[in-house]
Chains A and B, each alone.
Chain A
Amino acid sequence: MRLPRRYLTQRIAKILIWMGALSTIGVMIMILFQVLREGIPALHPRFFLDSPRDMGREGGILSSIVGTAALTLLAVFVATPLGVGTAIFLREYTRESRISRIIRFGTDCLSGVPSIIFGLFGFVFFVIYLKMGWSILSGGLTVAAMILPTIISTTEEAIKGIPRSYREVSYSLGGNKWQTVTHAILPNALPGIFTGVILSVGRSIGETAAVILTAGSSLLMPTSLFSPTRTMSVHFYILAREGISMEMAYGTGAALILLVLLINTVANTLLNRYIRHRT
């Protein structure tokens, strides 16, 4: 008995889909696997504890790690208050009005700006105009601008998820708006905010174009916010292209991937725990 045509179509379609999906997953795994396989052997403790020597041919990547950490922390410290504040304002202090529409438009647009344009902006504004020079400060502030939209939207989502009853209870107990925010809303939105922050951390670690134009590429251990630095992704980019040391390049790449993996897993676990806790 011959199957009706539509079952044949279904069979073909499903096979194609399986092929497509599996080959995609396969390639993605291959990409990660290649870098990890070549790079993990290079990741001994000295790699993390030494600074680069001989222009990156030897030693480790300590100065890069420190620079990356400093820049990322600065970006998060600047962007989180601004982002959370914006989200609180949008959700608690206004209705859908002109102001809120303008703010949302600005945020949405900002999230679409490519990193090279942020880099140009950071260069001309922080490095040159504000005379901060190539520094962790310039780089951190530029990256803060890049992660701001993410923090705003994840915080907004977190606040949205808080039931009205929380607010009503707070008001009925005599609290004013700000007390409501600080005692009822924020503590409950904290996990969501935290997740957004962690995701932003992951993103800023991988950011290359904007950082190279604002934080420079010096291999020296940074000593202050005004020191230039070469973050891990910039170091990886330079090593990969110069062919100075493939071993170091793979090692830095593997370190990057593992770091991002770690950060994302932490964020996902926390998010899952948060969802389970709320329901």
Chain B
Amino acid sequence: MIGTALTDLWYGFGVALEPHNIVWCFIGVLVGNMVGVLPGMGPLATISILLPLTFGIKPVGAILMLAGVMYGAQYGGAICSILLNLPCHPPHAVTCLDGFPMTKQGRGGAALGATVFASFVGASWGITEMIFLAPVLVRVAMEFGPAEICSLMLLGLLAGSTLARGSPLKGVAMTVLGLMLGIVGTDIETGAERFTFGMTHLDDGIELIALALGLFGIGEFMNSVNQVSTVNAKYANVTLKDMRPSKEEMRRTIAPMFRGTLIGSLCSLIPGTGPTIASFVAYATEKKISKTPEKFGTGMIEGVVCPEASTHSSVQGDFIPTMSLGIPGDAVMALLLGALMIQGIVPGPQLIKEHPDIFWGLVASFWIGNIMLVILNVPLIGVWVKLLTIPYKYLYSSAMFFVCIGVYAANNDMFQVGETAAIGFLGYVLLRLGFHPAPILLGFVLGPRFEENFRRAMLISRGDLTVFIERPISAVFVLLCVALIGLQIYVRLRGPKKPLVPVLETQGAE
């Protein structure tokens, strides 16, 4: 098995090392790193903006680039939180706790250096996990009939919406809303128009790009306009020389790094628990097993390295269910799946077999991309820090243009620009009401496939709902769903006493 995995990987490197693929991968990580550093621009918004640009590229290049944005942003986010105490992206919120004090002590450079190193280790582990686990998962998934796929999707949707940030109830409501939005348009089986309200423009359904850009572009801009304060770059003078951690720091880094990696990879295996939860758990664990827990928060390098390693290992691990089962764990993954679908590739267990170039190319490009990021981050740290001083007022207004042209270019249709504005408004209202819009996207991407498989399962079983319980694999998934809901209710009733929950909630409110 290892042998085949290695041959496949070799093949993947062949794909990823093709000149144009390297270029796309490089552009992806570069842009990702950039937006990771910039406050107020998340990977979600960036991937949505870049999505229309990928139509002209081959699917492999497109997915390499978009994935590059995603993990590139994780590197950039660390810079921001360590040097400026700005948790631009939720997973890095805990990095601030010890990272910024280190910066104040003049050890910011060392913290960054150790972070880059830990990130690389974490990511490498995540990739390795992907190489060996994904084919196994696929073999299992090949046995799935429509009923199994259906209940698996149900589990994915539930996990994605309840374990994410904010209230689980609201999360589920948003997922259902997303499913409904996915229904808009012409029904695939009967051809009946649904929810088009007589508008022929809506016949093809709501465009994924319009939805993503509306929710995460316009909605976010509205949320943060005139809110982003100018950054204080007082401590941000870091040169290459500062980045080498001392021997003592190096020694203290190793063990937390591996612990973080392990936590991250475990978290990525549970659908719905993305990098944010992984980094919080990692920090808490590190604090608990430390001999000097009281020192945490004053600039302990362990508290920087462990969450960062776990973030990266879980980011890479998140690709496993997405690529092998076609079930995205969070909104970013949903967006990537959407990008694949736009390219005409059906995600699911058959993906690895039918498009080995995409899967193995992606895996190999992770490594290449991560190496690129290390190279980009270490000597060029000064450039990234400079980027932080770009005022938001220039940023978001230029981004608006990219939003508009992106939506227009997707189908050459002006109507969709208006659609995006409307969705953006809706997204902002929802955000203010405490509904996080990310699960909408999850529901939207999975919705049509869910319906299709549900219908197929019903056809096979002649409308008998018990098929979901009678088939063993499906029953396990359904049981897990029930357990998940039960657990949520249990936690609710006991009251949110856990220290982790409030921190996550405040993050969600941002």
Please determine whether chains A and B interact with each other in the same assembly. Answer: no
Where the two chains meet, the residues of A that have a C-beta atom closer than 8 Å to any C-beta of B are none
